[in-house]
Amino acid sequence: MTRFVSRATCAFVLIPILATLVAATSVDFSQGPWGGGVTLDWFAYAWPPLAPVIGRSLAVAAIVVALNLLLGGPLAWWVARHPSPLTRLTGYLVNVPLAVPGIALSVALVGTYPMLRPSGLLLVMGHLVFTLPFTLAALTPALADTELRTNESVARSLGAGPLRVLRTITVPACLVAVTQAVTMVFALSFGEFNVSFFINPPATSTAPFALFDSYSTQRLESASAQSAIFIAFVVPVLTAVVLARRRAPRRTP
Amino acid sequence: MPVRAPARGRAVPGPAWLAALPALIVIGLFSVHPVMVMVAGSLGVGRPPADEGLTLDHYTRAFGSETVRSALLDSVLIAGGSVLLVLLVAVPVVLRQADDDRHGRGGVATDVLLTLPIALPGIIIGFFAIVLTGRTGLLGLAWGGFSGLAYTFSGLLVAYMYFSLPRVLGPLRGAAATLDPALTESARTLGASRTRVFTTVTLPLLLPALIETSGTAIAVALGGYGTVATLSEGVRLLPLNVANELTTGYRLADSSALAVILAVTAVLALVLGRALSRLVRRAVAA
């Protein structure tokens, strides 16, 4: 029974993706699956304009990941090592973008900082505050681990400097959590649409907006090819997310 | 040694919160402050050119509008309904996953597939609905009733189920992993039927997590803009109204008021889920 439901759920997720592939390889999808024959022309047609946009999305995601580690790492360390009412309040504030719907946050950001929109800075900042809760959720439990703290204090008492402790003890112990945070943040930023809606620089937009545009202006076959290309970029990142999660000693929500 | 330890502790440069300061500044500037500006703007207290003095006009206008009221109702029904429907399949799925994990069986492919929708923007999920159940959709060929379903209430419901699936499965899986298999096994050996074990042992133990997860997932689904944006010619949901106030004529205060209503509804789902879950947890423990 449970096996049947699991298989059916997997099919529920997979079928639309396969259907999109069928549409993307049909000459004329309105005549049915592979109507008018099978072709890869839609992919050839979709790729050249999509390539620079995907490149931009990958760059934004990479910057957002770097900022997450740079800012979120020390924040998680503080929350994990110095628990107080202040860190609990911080926890609530960090999670604001989880409670406030993306489109509402987008309205708030563009209403407050319209001048930061054209440069793309507002987009990066929007993605950053939207993804920080995930970094914090992954890193804080790993940094709070008592065994890690014991190892660190042993290393320190043996005379290792703070940088050496960080490099040889803390970072290796948190590697799985860091991988989890990095992959999840990358995937979320790459596919982000709601928060980005009003804050993406109109002239140089990201991949989800190219898709959204083609959904309303292009043929179903071409839009399907673009969607399939986008999904092809998401799947490896997501596989990394899952592999990191499977290696984690504890499951984080 | 005992003398050296505190000296080392004092050698740490600056107080610990200094490390967290850059992140706190970013969160303050780009999350907390904009939300406060938005709330103020929705109450008429905008930046100088838009300042009209404290007023509830934008809210009375929002709630006075028939389209906004029906969009809010549909939003709540779609978000709540899709999450509840997902729960029905999620419980057997996570129990199977927990069982597989315990025996070291679960495949990576299944895992990736069941997590995938979380990384797909809502617009792609809306597009899936068009490919399968749009006017020339694939399923429409099998049965005419499927054609055009994407733009109806039930079509949207199924699309939001796709959206909510990984957001329910993720947290529930963690809860299912903590269930002690010995409990169900001993109930079974004492002669209880499978159904009885499920309703009297497994379900009550999972219930707090089920409720909390539902609250969170409903909150996220309420804000799910992309899916309905792709299917916008059909049923209208509140996030569409929020966006429309800005895209058609930049009425920031009206858009802010709708965004605040949407946010409050989402926070309500979140808080209600947490509170109910705590209540049930106490009841189950007693």
pLDDT (tens digit, 9 = 90+) per residue, B163-175? Answer: 999 999 988 888 8
Q: Are B37 and A112 in contact, with CB atoms under 8 Å apart?
A: yes
Radius of gyration of chain A (CA): 22
Give me the helices (H) in chain B, please: 4-11, 17-27, 33-42, 57-64, 66-102, 108-115, 122-133, 138-142, 153-177, 181-189, 194-197, 203-223, 226-230, 238-247, 252-285
As to burial, measured by CB atoms within 10 angstroms (0-12 exposed, 13-18 middle, 19+ buried), residue B93 is buried
Domains and CATH numbers, chain B: 4-50 (no CATH), 67-285 (1.10.3720.10)
Q: What number is the ipTM of this complex?
A: 0.87
pLDDT at B13: 60
Distance CA A251, CA A246 (A): 8
DSSP A155-196: HHHTT--HHHHIIIIIHHHTHHHHHHHHHHHHHHHHT--TGG
Subunit contact A10:B121, Cβ cutoff 8 A: no
pLDDT at B176: 85
pLDDT over 60 at B1, yes or no: no
pLDDT at B2: 42
Q: Are A178 and A140 in contact, with CB atoms under 8 Å apart?
A: no
Which of these ranges, A130-134, A156-160, B35-39, B245-249, has the smallest mean pLDDT?
B245-249
Subunit contact A126:B89, Cβ cutoff 8 A: no
Domains and CATH numbers, chain A: 1-39 (no CATH), 49-247 (1.10.3720.10)
The percentage of residues in chain A with a pLDDT greater than 90, rounded to a whole number, is: 40
Distance CA B237, CA B239 (A): 6
Subunit contact B37:A71, Cβ cutoff 8 A: no
Distance CA B286, CA B280 (A): 10
Radius of gyration of chain B (CA): 24
pLDDT (tens digit, 9 = 90+) per residue, A75-120? Answer: 999 999 888 898 889 988 998 888 888 898 999 999 899 899 889 8
Distance CA A250, CA B171 (A): 12
Subunit contact A191:B255, Cβ cutoff 8 A: no
Look at residues B188, B182, B214 and name the one whose alpha carbon lies nearest to residue B91. Answer: B214
Which residue type occupies B267?
A: V
pLDDT at B53: 75
Distance of CA A155 to the CA centre of its chain: 35
Subunit contact A132:B124, Cβ cutoff 8 A: no
The percentage of residues in chain A with a pLDDT greater than 70, rounded to a whole number, is: 98
Give residue for tokens 């900022």: A67
Subunit contact B111:A242, Cβ cutoff 8 A: yes
Which of these ranges, A50-64, A170-184, B134-148, has the smallest mean pLDDT?
B134-148
pLDDT at A224: 93
B184 vs A124, higher pLDDT: A124
Q: What part of A 214-253 touches B (C-beta under 8 Å)?
A: 215, 220, 223-224, 227, 230-231, 234-235, 237-239, 241-243, 246, 251-253
pLDDT over 60 at A32, yes or no: yes
On chain A, the residues whose CB falls within 8 A of the CB of B239 are: 101, 103, 194
pLDDT (tens digit, 9 = 90+) per residue, B65-95? Answer: 888 899 999 999 999 999 999 999 999 999 8
pLDDT at B268: 93
The three-class DSSP label of residue B132 is helix
Closest partner residue to A104 among B89, B96, B242, by Cβ? B242
Report long-range pairs for A169-172 (Cβ below 8 Å, ≥24 apart). A170/A143
Give the DSSP letter of residue B279: H
Mean pLDDT of A228-237: 92
Token digits of residue A2: 């449970």
Average model confidence (pLDDT) across chain A: 89
pLDDT over 50 at B7, yes or no: no
Closest partner residue to B30 among A125, A212, A253, by Cβ? A125
Give the best-scoring range by mean pLDDT among A237-251, B91-105, B148-162.
B148-162
Which residue type occupies A7?
A: R
pLDDT at B183: 83
Closest partner residue to A99 among B128, B252, B267, by Cβ? B267
A33: Cβ contacts below 8 Å, ≥ 6 apart: A22, A23, A26, B138, B141
pLDDT over 50 at A58, yes or no: yes
pLDDT (tens digit, 9 = 90+) per residue, B17-34? Answer: 888 899 999 999 999 999
Average model confidence (pLDDT) across chain B: 85
Mean pLDDT of B248-262: 87
As to burial, measured by CB atoms within 10 angstroms (0-12 exposed, 13-18 middle, 19+ buried), residue B195 is exposed
Mean pLDDT of B198-220: 89
pLDDT (tens digit, 9 = 90+) per residue, B231-251? Answer: 888 788 999 888 888 888 778
Angle, helix B238-247 to helix B66-102, in steps of 10 degrees: 120
Predicted TM-score (pTM) of this structure:
0.87
pLDDT at B50: 63
pLDDT at B48: 64
On chain A, the residues whose CB falls within 8 A of the CB of B97 are: 6
Give the DSSP letter of residue B167: H
The percentage of residues in chain B with a pLDDT greater than 90, rounded to a whole number, is: 32
